[in-house]
Amino acid sequence: MDLSYGPEYDAFRADLQAFLSQSWPPHGNEADLDARQQQQHFISKAVAAGYMHRNILAKYGGSEQPADPLREAIIGEEMEASGAPWRLGAQGVGMIVPTLLEVGAEWQREQFVEPTLKGEYVWCQGYSEPGAGSDLASLRSTARLEGDEWVINGHKIWTSDAQDASYMFGMFRTEPEAAKHAGISYLLLKMDQPGIDVRPLRQLTGAVHFNEVFFDNVRTPANWIVGERGQGWQVARVNLKYERNLGGGGHTRRSYHALVDLARRTTRGGRPAVEDPEIRDRLAAIECRVRCIETSRMRSLSAVANREEDKVGLSMLVGKLYQTDTSELIVRLAYDLIGSDGLLAPTDATWGIRSQGRSSDWVDQYLFSLGGAIAAGSSNIQRNIIGERGLGLPRDLRAS
């Protein structure tokens, strides 16, 4: 097994590292700009240099580079290590852009893709409702066509970033008489308009990242529909494919190293915790999982590079679940190491680690890890998908 990328790719990595050392963190006049402007400057430079939005045509604001999964992987590794803002806009760049490129109308691509890539348009995802999460097709918010506009009524929940979003993509029931999955359409709408009420939901961590969104006769043009009327479920499936791909995995090893460091800095029975046999066992088990994630990623990468995508399917399905479980084991051990100090919010100076350039702490990560097993499809649902689609087991009982 050869785990190196080879000389051509090593040279590419060196050029990228040189670019990043010049470009992030910002210096000179750029250091005086506000955070958003700094990010936008970085994105335009990275697109111009061919390091971002590589698979997107230049006419839509991408850098239009030849497909090369190994270069993509190197870019991911180096960008993450540098803390550069390359993964901004999970819902925008991560979800609606690829969806519009795959199934949107040409005018929608022209109007929405480039400003979203540049960070000018911020999107939120209006799928979940109080009675429709895992069973998303039960959603009840409606859109009724009146002349040349859709009129939207209902209630979405857990809408990440709705408080900052300029636009929403969402699913609404447009054919009340049709069967559950067949009666849904996929609409785009402006968030800044009368009839939209965004109410923040405070999380366990104390932060406010998601919201409830209420619609009272909200309007959006008739042609702001993606795909055909009543075909929203099919469009959402395209989109969910990109959502499940969001979890990168690069930061698991850094979290693990931070955990080992924590085990060295904390004590058990008067000795460094890292010398305690039980802690060593738990660390070793986690290290095995981290290596499995890395090796599995290399295997998938080789398969994609060799145009053997059919070999990737099952490991992609397992990836999110395995990574979520591993992150939970990491933060749970960290929490045990911190002990009763975990009841207080620790500061960076005591327990903090840096992840993807943001400062966060173990307690925050511990509390947030519960959300990781729910967001983008809960772990139980992921297990069903692995069983049914990956292993060909009989289908789970469906209430409908």
Chain residues binding ligand FAD by CB under 6 A are: 124-128, 133-134, 158-160, 210, 371, 374-375, 377-378, 380-381, 384, 396
Nearer to ligand FAD, 202 or 311 (CB): 202
CB of 292 to ligand FAD, least distance (A): 23
CB of 345 to ligand FAD, least distance (A): 19
Q: Are 55 and 62 in contact (CB under 8 A)?
A: yes
Nearer to ligand FAD, 90 or 151 (CB): 90
Neighbours of 266 (CB within 10 A): 19
| Residue 200, CA distances (Å) to 126, 211, 245 in order | 14, 4, 27
Nearer to ligand FAD, 153 or 378 (CB): 378
CB of 343 to ligand FAD, least distance (A): 23
CB of 347 to ligand FAD, least distance (A): 24
Nearer to ligand FAD, 309 or 388 (CB): 388
CB of 11 to ligand FAD, least distance (A): 39
Q: Point out the residue whose Cβ comes nearest to ligand FAD.
A: 133
Distance CA 26, CA 28 (A): 7
Distance CA 371, CA 318 (A): 18
Which of 80, 114, 129, 243 is catalytic? The answer is: 243
| Residue 82, CA distances (Å) to 19, 39, 58, 86, 284 in order | 11, 13, 25, 10, 27
Nearer to ligand FAD, 303 or 367 (CB): 367
DSSP 46-107: HHHTT-SSTTS-GGGT---PPP-HHHHHHHHHHHHHHT-S-S--TTIIIIIHHHHHHHS-HH
Distance CA 19, CA 261 (A): 30
CB of 330 to ligand FAD, least distance (A): 18
Q: Are 5 and 74 in contact (CB under 8 A)?
A: yes
Distance CA 115, CA 318 (A): 34
Compute CA 135 distance to the chain's CA centroid, rounded to the nearest angstrom. 20
Nearer to ligand FAD, 153 or 379 (CB): 379
Pairing of strands 123-126, 167-173: parallel
Distance CA 79, CA 86 (A): 7
Is 243 annotated in the active site? yes
Distance CA 292, CA 93 (A): 29
> First vs last Cα of the chain: how many Å apart?
48
CB of 366 to ligand FAD, least distance (A): 14
Nearer to ligand FAD, 39 or 159 (CB): 159
* Catalytic site positions: 243
